[in-house]
A = this chain, B = another copy of it.
């Protein structure tokens, strides 16, 4: 998918190494700006300056602001989907959910601006993303919901609505990236602080896992 967008969006410059590197630098800079100000609030010359080139030169690589925004979004969505793809039906629920939650929080730490770009797009009603949401992501969520329902049917998970469980996992983990400013104001450090990260992870795991795993010795059926 990244390839598809790439070729569709930028005929020029793909060939040379320097062009490639420039395009990457532009996309990195654009991610920062778009994540903070949204599409309309972002200024193309601000992005150009952050990428270290002139505005017309940026527009040589991406012909319009919208083209650039779409490219950044596509690249981000792909990364965002990865952890969920790996949620594994074959392993036991505790291990699978622990791995998924850990991976999501790790993503909030390593790619906070990517998380914020996605949040920004959602706040605006996902105008540039609706097709992707209703196809790729929907399919993935439906598939993983069935995995969770399977665990519930086997009594290995307490009965919870699968989609709301997924939403709860997304919400709690992404919150640390999206509301970073609030978290730093209220707690001091953010996820980049190792101790804070560990405490956040432990607390989220404790709450969510205890909330959905069966009580000791009482496997449940619906």
Binary CB contact string for chain A from 66 to 92 against chain B (1 if under 8 A, 0 otherwise): 000000000000000000000000000
Contact of A137 among B39, B186, B216 (CB under 8 A): B186
Contacts known (A164-B199, A212-B207); A179 close to B133, Cβ less than 8 A: no
Q: State which size class the interface on A falls in.
A: 35 or more
CB distance from A177 to the nearest CB of B (A): 10
**How far, in angstroms, from A137 to B42 measured CA to CA in the complex?**
29
The answer to whether B207 and A211 touch across the interface, beta carbons within 8 angstroms, is: yes
- Cβ B178 vs Cβ A119 within 8 A: yes
Which residue of B133, B165, B180, B187 contacts A203 across the interface (Cβ within 8 Å)? B165
A124 with B36: in contact, given A138-B185, A161-B199 (CB under 8 Å)? yes
Asked whether A130 is an interface residue with its Cβ less than 8 Å from the other chain, the reply is yes
Which of B37, B187, B206 is in CB contact (< 8 Å) with A124? B37
Asked if A168 contacts B204 (CB within 8 A), the reply is: yes
Among B137, B168, B178, B185, the residue within 8 A (CB) of A123 is B178
Identical chains in the assembly = 2
Chain A interface secondary structure, helix, strand, loop or mixed?
A: helix
A147 to chain B: closest CB distance in Å? 15
- Given A37-B41, A211-B206, A122–B165 Cβ distance below 8 Å? no
Cβ-based interface call for A126 (8 A): yes
A181 touches B39 (CB 8 A): no
Question: Chain B: which residue is nearest A207 at the CB level?
Answer: B211
A182 to B118, CA, bound (A): 10
A64 → chain B, closest Cβ, in Å? 17
Complex partner residue of A175 from B141, B171, B176, CB under 8 angstroms: B171
Cβ proximity bits A100-128 to B, threshold 8 Å, 1 near / 0 not: 00000000000000001001101111100
Residues 26-41 (chain A) with a chain B CB within 8 angstroms:
35-41
The smallest beta-carbon distance between A204 and chain B, in angstroms, is 7
A157 to B130 alpha-carbon distance, docked (Å): 41
Chain B residues in 8 Å Cβ range of A40? 37-38, 40-42
